[in-house]
Chain A
Amino acid sequence: SQQGEEDPQALSIQEGENATMNCSYKTSINNLQWYRQNSGRGLVHLILIRSNEREKHSGRLRVTLDTSKKSSSLLITASRAADTASYFCATDVPGYSTLTFGKGTMLLVSP
C-alpha cells in the first residue's frame, strides 16, 4: 500500500506565485524526502527532512514536517516556468530497506 500520498494531484499557477504541495503518510518515519521529475526524465532529490526536524530550507524550497499529523508540505516560492514538473514525496520507514514513493503532484507554472 502507498505510504505517502501527495495532495493535490495537479496544481496550476502563474509565474511568481507560490506553490504548496502536501504529503500524508501512515506510519512513523526515519525521514521524508522530496523529489522532482521533469517529463520523461529521472527523479532528482530535492531535500530530506528527518523525523526530529520541523522545517528545512533550500533556496526557494521550504519543507515542513508535522509528525503528530503524519504530514509534510513542500513550498516553492516565486515559482518559475522551469519549476514545471512532477513532485514526489518518499518516506524512509524504520525496518524497511527501501523508500516508499507517493504518486506525485503535477505542477504547471505558466509564464
Chain B
Amino acid sequence: DGGITQSPKYLFRKEGQNVTLSCEQNLNHDAMYWYRQDPGQGLRLIYYSQIVNDFQKGDIAEGYSVSREKKESFPLTVTSAQKNPTAFYLCASTLLWGGASEYGYTFGSGTRLTVV
C-alpha cells in the first residue's frame, strides 16, 4: 500500500541530545513537509522540500535541520539548540502541480517527542 511512514511513534530525548525523526513515502510525491503541533496552536511549518537536494525553512526552523538526499525520504533532526522540543511532529507529502497543493497533503501518523 502506498503511504507515508513516520518512525518512531514515540521518542524520548535527554537534554543536550540530538535526535532524528524518520519520514519515508512511497507515493512518488515531489514535495515533503515537517510540521510541529502543540496543543491549541495548530500546525506550524518547520521545513519543506520540493525537490531532491533542496529544502526551505518554514516559520519555526531554528533548532531543527533536514536533508533530502532521496525523493522518498525527508528526515528531521531536532538539535540541542531547540530549547522546547516536546511536541507532536507530523510529516506530509504531496504531488506538485500549479499551486501549493492541488491534491491535498498526505500525512504520516506522527512522532511524539518528549524531553526527559
- A residues at B contact (CB < 8 Å): 2, 30-31, 33, 35, 40-45, 48, 88, 90, 92-94, 96-99, 101-104
Chain B proximity of A39: nearest CB distance (Å) = 11
Chain B residues bordering chain A, tally (CB within 8 A): 29
On chain B, the residues within 8 Å of A99 by CB distance are: 100-101, 105
Say yes or no: is B67 at the interface (Cβ < 8 Å to chain A). no
Q: A30-B100, A31-B102 are in contact. List 12 more A-B contacts (CB 8 A).
A: A33-B104, A35-B105, A42-B109, A43-B92, A88-B42, A90-B105, A93-B100, A94-B99, A97-B48, A97-B100, A98-B45, A98-B100
Chain A proximity of B97: nearest CB distance (Å) = 11
Instruction: Tell me which of B92, B101, B107, B110 has the highest count of chain A C-beta atoms within 10 A of its own C-beta.
Output: B101
Q: Are B104 and A48 in contact (CB under 8 A)?
A: yes
Say yes or no: is B43 at the interface (Cβ < 8 Å to chain A). yes
Say yes or no: is B77 at the interface (Cβ < 8 Å to chain A). no
Q: Are A30 and B104 in contact (CB under 8 A)?
A: no
A contact face: mostly helix, strand, loop, or mixed? loop
Complex alpha-carbon distance, A88 and B107, angstroms: 13
Q: Are B109 and A30 in contact (CB under 8 A)?
A: no
Q: Are A92 and B42 in contact (CB under 8 A)?
A: no
Provided the pairs A42-B90, A43-B105, A97-B50 are in contact, do residues A30 and B110 lie with their beta carbons within 8 angstroms?
Answer: no
The listed residue (A88, A94, A97, A102) touching B56 by CB distance below 8 A is A97
Say yes or no: is B40 at the interface (Cβ < 8 Å to chain A). yes
- State which residues 46-64 of B face A: CB under 8 Å: 48, 50, 56, 58
Q: Are A31 and B110 in contact (CB under 8 A)?
A: no
Q: Which residue of B lies closest to A106 (CB)?
A: B40
Chain A proximity of B60: nearest CB distance (Å) = 13
Complex alpha-carbon distance, A48 and B99, angstroms: 13
Complex alpha-carbon distance, A31 and B104, angstroms: 10
Binary flags per residue of B74-116, CB closer than 8 Å to A gives 1, else 0: 0000000000000010101000001111111111111010000
Q: Which residue of A lies closest to B100 (CB)?
A: A92
